[in-house]
Structure 1
Amino acid sequence: MRLVQLTIPTGKRQTILETLDERKIDYVVTDEDSSREYTAVVYFPLPAPAVEPVLDELQETGIDDDAYTVVVDAETVVSRRFQALREEYEHGDVGTDRISRQELQAEADSLTPTFSVYAIMTIISAVVATAGLLLDSPAVVVGSMVIAPLIGPALGASVGSVIDDEELFRNSVSYQIIGIILAIGAAAVFAWAVRITNIVPPGLNIASVGEISERLAPDLLSLVIALGAGVAGIISIATGTSVALVGVMIAAALIPPAAAAGIAIAWGQPSAAIGSTALVLVNVLSVNLAGLLTLWYVGYRPDNLFALGETQQRVRRRVLGLAVIVLVFAVFLGAITYSSYAVSNFEENARGEVETTLSEDEFSEYQLLEFEVVMDDNYPFVGPQRVVVTVGGPEGEVPPELADRLHERINQHTDDSVGVQVRSVGLVER
């Protein structure tokens, strides 16, 4: 429910009040004595879905943007006529549960802080995420998402496009671009400082850190997170519900991958930063794409009907452009996903070959103790570099025939040659 306060320009009092009467809207009018171009202020309660059509109709009577229109939440309205208004406008679907276009624009503006605050909070969030990744601490990484101020710019571009507010669109796009650069740059600088001061163990292999490795070689499921965040974010802001948790979800799609890219750069592995940087870009684009589609679906349009055709064409162009770019990135992520699938298959087949070989009579005295596939560092398309097999058995060296047999059988399952090490009391390498 909303309480609308509207200043009535000189000469428009009767027209505005007749419009409210025709819609059976209760109102209270107070005279304005500030010696300006307004004669009165009218107050009237409305169900949330009625705000946009009523304000649009009042604007058609001659209310311009210079007039003051204030829309505030109303906790309770007791009125039989108001109940009839609710029944007329509320139908229980997303389209009627949404807030007005005017409120949406104000909400999008309010979610974006000033540039200095945005820059500082983005840098802090990236630094905290970098620390969390290096510590392999999911709790710290989640904490970095909470303080990230990304939801405003991420949703503002979609809102600006749909309601024909190009200034909001340009500002939001600029904020997003600057935010990505700041996040990756801050993460790289902080990770470099951590590395050269030996705060982390010297020679740390970042690929061995779980929180980092999963973002250096992202898969196609990462796209689902970004699309879901975009839809959820728009529905939250459009229905006037809390956007705090959705903001965390959007930050989850952007801040940790940006921090992982910065870490890879600081470790002198730019190829390892490719996957995480691609993940950041595809997530940003996916959030914008999902936001655009969702806003248009729930019925938001520009206030000027003459601009509807132009806005619709602009939205279509942007949706098409975003969809094509996201599709290209999706193919890239799909290739990474397939590469990971192939590695998993190789690991399973290689283990099977080891178990089969050790079950043969001539090697039956040996027992598999440990099996490990060591990956190369060719990010984002990592592959097996060598297989390490640890067996237990009689004292002495492991027969060379065992290493030869395992090398031959394991390499049947890969196009590239993979080294095989067999360890026991001694070590045989092939």
Structure 2
Amino acid sequence: MALRLVEIYHPDTDEALEVPDDTYDVLGHWTYAIDDDQRVDRVLLEVEETESFLDWVDDTVVTEYRVVLQSVEATLPRPEVEAEEDDEDAEDDNEVSVARVGRAELYEYARDATDVSGYYYSLIALSVVVAAGGMLRDQTAVVIGAMVIAPLIGPNLALALGTTLGDPDLLGRSAWANLTGVGLALGGSLGLGAAMTVDPTTGELAVRTVIGLPDIALAAAAGAAGALAVTRGGATGLVGVMVAVALLPPVVATGLLFGAGHPGAALRAGLLTVTNVVSLNLAAVCTFLLLGVRPRDWRDVAQARTSTRIALALWGSALIVLALLLWRFA
């Protein structure tokens, strides 16, 4: 059972928060003044209840406040696992039933993932060099190593999250992170392709010029797995490798082949890249929706619904067009 410690700092003139026990399964609640002007309420909850609880705090605490959310590794004595409630209680509007981390944690992940710093660009550049070397030497293990380095999971999941929440700022930052990352990878591999001898029949290159339904399924599975990993608060390292499988090698193959003067093969690798991007983001958005990721404010909900519908229509239409192209030129 994943737990979160929610700390609510508010003016000491306020009374301690009266958390409704009939709505939230509070595992612990401590409150005390920390100085002459400030009070803190610490509430221990299961991770599934944090989003609804933070919404309740926002409605209840009318004065200025600050919330700090901490992951709890363990607590003693261990919380008892209660029996499942009956169906009537589970259908209560106030009952929290979403088995995922809260909206605040998802936003924090997306904020970190779209930080296009020198570190981000350095990892992209290094992963391109490693991937290009592995492809030119036809060494699969080296290409896998490049996918371990590439930080491509964060910007793509942030893009899908921004689409789901209808957040223009998050959409803009995640789109910029994706475009600059892919642009750097493509530009670097173009330069390497122009400077080195590239054999398009090499196994690791040739496989990126053949496109089929398994490639669409792979990218979709990567997007869904990434969204699941983030919403469960789990580690995304291994899932990030899977996302990089769908993105990094096709981009590098496209650049190498174009730079070496093989436009036909490069176009097929580029088509694979676009297909994977579309499939990955479409699957991630659908997964976020199925897990109940929504904005809080009703005005934001309406905006998010419009944004999601437009995105699903665009991603879906693009995927259909790409599938038709694959069928036509297969």
Normalised by the length of structure 2, the TM-score is 0.88
> Are the aligned partners of 1:129 and 1:256 in contact in 2 as well (CA < 8 Å)?
yes
Q: Which residue of 1 is the match for residue 188 of structure 2?
A: 186
Structure 2 equivalent of residue 28 of structure 1: 30
Report the counterpart of residue 75 of structure 1 in structure 2: 73
- Residue 134 of structure 1 aligns with which residue? 136
SS for the counterpart of 2:278 is helix
User: CA 1:18–1:148 in structure 2 vs 1: closer, same or farther (change >3 Å)?
Assistant: closer
Residue of structure 2 equivalent to 1:306: 299
1:326 equivalent to 2:326? Answer no
What one-letter code is carried by the residue in structure 1 that aligns with 2:214? L
SS of the equivalent of 1:42 reads strand
Report sequence identity in percent: 30
Structure 1 residues 87 and 43, CA gap change in structure 2 (3 angstroms):
farther
Matched to 2:307, the amino acid is: R
Q: Which amino acid aligns with 1:231?
A: A
1:40 alignment counterpart: 39
CA distance change for structure 1 residues 290 and 261 in 2, over 3 Å: closer, same or farther?
same
Alignment of 1:237-256 (within 5 A): 237-256=230-249
The question of 1:50 aligning with 2:43 is answered: no
**CA–CA distance in structure 1, aligned partners of residues 190 and 115 of structure 2:** 24
Q: Choose the corresponding residue for 1:105, options 88, 104, 107.
A: 107
Q: CA deviation at 1:78?
A: 4.2
1:149-188 matches, within 5 Å, as 149-188=151-190
Q: What CA distance in whole angstroms lies between the structure 1 residues aligned with 2:182 and 2:107? A: 24
Q: For 1:304 and 1:282, locate their aligned partners in 2 and report how far apart those are by CA, in whole Å.
A: 34
Partner of 1:59: 58
Q: 1:55 offset after TM fit, Å?
A: 1.1
Cα deviation, 1:208-263, whole Å, max 9, x if unaligned, reads 21111111232232111110100000000001111101100111101111111111
Distance 1:271 1:63 in 2: 63
**C-alpha displacement of 1:61:** 1.2
Letter in 1 for 2:312: V
The structure-2 alpha-carbon separation of the partners of 1:46 and 1:208, relative to structure 1 and needing over 3 Å to count, comes to: same
Aligned residue among 223, 227, 234 for 1:234 = 227
Q: Relative contact order: is structure 1 or structure 2 higher (C-alpha 8 Å, sep ≥ 6)?
A: 2
Matched residues in 1 for 2:166 and 2:243: separation? 24
User: Structure 1's 268 and 18: CA in aligned 2 closer, same or farther, altered over 3 A?
Assistant: closer
- Name the SS for the 1:29 alignment partner: strand
Residue aligning to 2:283: 290
The 3-state SS of whatever aligns with 2:9 is: strand
Given residue 173 of structure 2, which amino acid in structure 1 is its aligned partner? Answer: N
Which among 201, 204, 212 is matched to residue 205 of structure 2? 212
Aligned-residue offset at 1:87: 5.4
How far the C-alpha of 1:19 sits from its partner, in A, is 4.1
Give the residue type in structure 1 aligned to 2:18.
L
Q: Does residue 1:259 correspond to 2:252, yes or no?
A: yes
* Residue 223 in structure 1 maps to residue 224 in structure 2: no
1:268 is paired with a residue whose SS is coil
Residue from 268, 286, 289 that aligns with 1:275: 268
Residues 165 and 301 in structure 2, CA contact (< 8 A), matched pair in contact too:
no
- Partner AA of 1:303 in structure 2: R
Runs of 4+ that moved beyond 6 A: none
Quote the Cα distance in structure 2 between the aligned partners of 1:126 and 1:59. Answer: 45
Distance of 2:82 and 2:75 partners within structure 1: 12
Q: Work out which of the residue numbers 2, 5, 18 in structure 2 matches 1:3.
A: 5
| Residue 17, structure 1, aligned to residue 25, structure 2 | no
Q: Please state how far the C-alpha of 1:330 moved relative to its aligned partner.
A: 1.7
Q: May I ask how many residue pairs the two structures share in their alignment? A: 318
Amino acid of the structure 2 residue aligned with 1:307: D
2:145 corresponding residue in structure 1: 143
Q: Structure 1 counterpart of 2:238, which letter?
A: L
CA distance in 1, matches of 2:151, 2:145: 13
Distance 2:24 2:100 in 1: 20
CA distance in 2 between partners of 1:136 and 1:274 (Å)? 20
For residues 176-195 of structure 1, give each alpha carbon's deviation from its aligned partner in whole angstroms, at most 9, with x where no partner exists: 12222211110111222223
Per-residue deviation, 1:307: 2.1
Q: Residues 18, 239 of structure 1: CA spacing in aligned structure 2 closer, same or farther, 3 A cutoff? A: closer
Q: Per-residue displacement from partner, 1:25-49 (whole Å, max 9, x unpaired)?
A: 33111213264xxx30111110011
Q: TM-score, normalised by structure 1?
A: 0.69
Instruction: List alignment gaps of at least 5 residues for structure 1.
Output: 196-203, 340-430
Match of 2:122 in 1: 120
Q: Is residue 166–residue 305 contact of structure 2 (8 Å, CA) maintained in 1?
A: no
Deviates more, 1:218-227 or 1:17-26: 17-26
Distance 2:202 2:211 in 1: 14
Q: Deviations over 1:99-152 (max 9, x none)?
A: 111111112223344332222211211121111110001001000000001111
* 1:395 match: none
